Structure 1
Amino acid sequence: MQVSVLASGSKGNATFVAIDGAKILVDAGISATRIKKALAAENVDAADLDAVLLTHEHRDHVVGLATLSKWYHLPIYSRRKTLASLPISIQQAIASPLLHPVDGAFRLAGLSIMPFSTSHDAADPVGWRLAGSRTVAVCTDLGFVTQTVEAAIDGTDVLVLEANHDPAVLKDGRYPWPLKRRILSNRGHLANADAAWAIARMQHRPKDVFLAHLSQENNTPDLAYETVSGILKGQGIDDVPLHVARQDAAVRLI
């Protein structure tokens, strides 16, 4: 198994997952050139990807999709409303046979892949659970952790989970109030402490956790790590390694 968060944050998101020979990209929110180079640094040829899974249609998750599809003709999977809500320029650039709307779990390259609904201000946002001999879940861009999310992330070997902001930093920051309200809402982004409690509540916790989609304005890597690890230790949980994803470089687990 190989998991590499190629980039994560408000400027772009892409995560590479390899399980049992299957090679999957979750989101393509950075340029296709950067994705290609980042994968090459992981000793992966982008042409060998089996598919791209989209969490939702926001720019920081799809900006590289059109060029990536043009270069490699990769199949793209997401909810029907998400595919229909992609920017028109992206829809026009991608051949329709490459777009695969999905509702429930399906098989791909030997893996069982399951989309699960998340609470975010997009058309029909999802997280993804990829299961073979190991199991990985990618769950970012959610205002709160629903029972559906709890069930989907439980029992994973690796979890990529949003730890977007510190509410106090956000409230005292320079963002306009409507944007602050959006981020803090149930359809916004997950705070550091909420990520920690989501991990603490898991019946079967993962072997590794990536803290992802950190806000550059309302969070820091140290603050995210200290908040989440502090809450976990306070609950007597000290056996879950935390890896803080970065916007400008890949963070890997092999």
Structure 2
Amino acid sequence: MQIQVLASGSTGNAIFIEIDNTKLLVDAGISARRIKQSLDNIGTKVEDLDGVFITHEHRDHVSGLQTLLKKYRLPAYARPDTWQSMYCRTSLPDECCKTLPDSLDIGKVKVEPFSISHDAADPVGFRLQAGNTKVCVATDLGFVTPTVKDALALSDVLVLESNHDVDMLKNGSYPWHLKKRIMSNRGHLANTDAGWALARLNRKAHTHVFLAHMSQENNRPELAEETVGAILTDQGCKLGQDITLQLTYPQQISGFPAL
């Protein structure tokens, strides 16, 4: 198993997940060229991807999809309303655009989307399982619903949004309507929200967590790590033993080593 967050943030998102020789890409929000180069750097060919899974239609999650599908003819999966709302849908090859069902087996991996609260047409997170291995992706969500909590439970590896520090956002330069959107139940998860979600999660003996989709203006990686870590420690979690936190970045790969 390996998970490589190729890019994470408002400028673009893409996550490579390999389980039992099944190779998947979650979101394609960076250029196809950069996706190819990033995969080359970790020893994987873009042509070998078994599928591309789209969480929602916002450009920072699909901006590279058009070139990726046209050039490599990969199967891509998204909810019907997501396809319909996607700015580039009419430019995508129809045979590559697959409807995302409630459960899909690709190789030995079962892929199950789950609904999240975000201001998009039909946004989802993903639960991927093969045998006893479970990986979940949950970014771009305003709050952790019971559905999300159940989906994330007992994950081995979790990519979870830790988007902003509330005080930095409130005191920052964004216009008020944008601040309200981000802080709303259909916006983005704050550092404190991520920390409490992890603290209250039904977990395995050890969970590896990527803190993802961090705002470049309203957060700092070290602040996200400190805030989430402090909540976990206060709730009795031993960092590095019960939970390992790993930061992600817009312009560099953050990886969980192949096992």
- Counterpart position of 1:75: 75
Specify the SS of the correspondent of 2:144. coil
The residue correspondences of 1:43-54 to structure 2 (distance < 5 A) are 43-54=43-54
- Counterpart position of 2:252: 249
TM superposition shift of 1:109: 2.1
- Counterpart position of 1:168: 167
1:188 aligns with 2:191: no
Aligned length in residues = 252
TM superposition shift of 1:92: 2.5
- Counterpart position of 1:104: 102
The residue correspondences of 1:28-47 to structure 2 (distance < 5 A) are 28-47=28-47
- Counterpart position of 1:95: 93
Partners of 1:103 and 1:122 in 2: CA distance: 18
- Counterpart position of 2:149: 150
- Counterpart position of 1:199: 198
TM superposition shift of 1:102: 2.2
Partners of 1:93 and 1:78 in 2: CA distance: 16
Partners of 2:219 and 2:200 in 1: CA distance: 23
Specify the SS of the correspondent of 1:241. strand
Specify the SS of the correspondent of 1:193. helix
The residue correspondences of 1:222-241 to structure 2 (distance < 5 A) are 222-238=222-238, 239-241=242-244
Give 1:146's aligned amino acid: T
TM superposition shift of 1:74: 0.6
TM superposition shift of 1:233: 0.3
Query: Normalization by structure 2: what TM-score?
Result: 0.96
TM superposition shift of 1:203: 1.4
TM superposition shift of 1:139: 0.5
- Counterpart position of 1:118: 116
Query: Normalization by structure 1: what TM-score?
Result: 0.97
Give 1:195's aligned amino acid: A
Partners of 1:46 and 1:103 in 2: CA distance: 24
TM superposition shift of 1:41: 0.6
TM superposition shift of 1:128: 0.5
Residue by residue over 1:17-75, the C-alpha shift from the partner in whole angstroms, topping out at 9 and shown as x without a partner, is 00000000000000000000001111000000000000000000000000000111011
Give 2:231's aligned amino acid: I
TM superposition shift of 1:83: 1.0
TM superposition shift of 1:100: 1.2
Partners of 1:165 and 1:228 in 2: CA distance: 11
Partners of 1:231 and 1:166 in 2: CA distance: 14
TM superposition shift of 1:207: 1.9
Give 2:180's aligned amino acid: R
CA RMSD of superposed structures (Å)? 0.9
TM superposition shift of 1:246: 0.5
Partners of 1:68 and 1:115 in 2: CA distance: 22
What percent identity do the matched residue pairs reach?
52
Partners of 1:217 and 1:199 in 2: CA distance: 24
Runs of 5+ consecutive residues of structure 2 not aligned to the other structure: none
1:10 aligns with 2:3: no
Specify the SS of the correspondent of 1:188. coil
Give 1:16's aligned amino acid: F
Specify the SS of the correspondent of 1:56. coil
